């Protein structure tokens, strides 16, 4: 736990990458009927480092972890968890 310091994102696939990289998804927050905010137990500094690696094409993740993360997020969205 990061002492209450968390990172939030509305971007589904970026959130899947963070999850696949090991960030713990703490909860989903509905913004409106089609938008959710993903809350992660990761510091903004750590998250921004992963995001920078992602956008620079340097974030290497196992494909199974990415697929599992996408499926987990979809399941949680559809179940409202």
pLDDT digits (tens, 9 = 90+) for 52-76: 999 999 999 999 999 999 999 999 9
According to the model, what pLDDT value does residue 3 have?
61
10 contact partners, CB below 8 Å, separation of at least 6: 31, 35, 36, 37, 38
Closest CA to 69 of 61, 80, 59: 61
- Tracing tokens 């094409």 back to the chain, one arrives at 57
pTM across the whole model: 0.87
According to the model, what pLDDT value does residue 15 have?
96
Domains in the chain: boundaries: 7-79
CA 57 to chain centre: 17
Helix (H) or strand (E) holding 24: strand 24-30
pLDDT digits (tens, 9 = 90+) for 12-65: 999 999 999 999 999 999 999 889 999 999 999 999 999 999 999 999 999 999
Helix/strand/coil for 8: strand
């Amino acid at each position: 736990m990061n002492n209450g310091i968390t990172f939030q994102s509305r971007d589904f696939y970026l959130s899947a990458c963070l999850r696949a990289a090991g960030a713990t998804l703490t909860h989903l927050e509905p913004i409106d009927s089609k938008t959710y905010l993903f809350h992660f137990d990761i510091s903004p500094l750590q998250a921004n480092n992963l995001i920078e690696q992602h956008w620079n094409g340097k974030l290497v993740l196992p494909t199974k972890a990415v697929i599992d993360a996408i499926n987990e997020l979809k399941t949680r969205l559809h179940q409202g968890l």
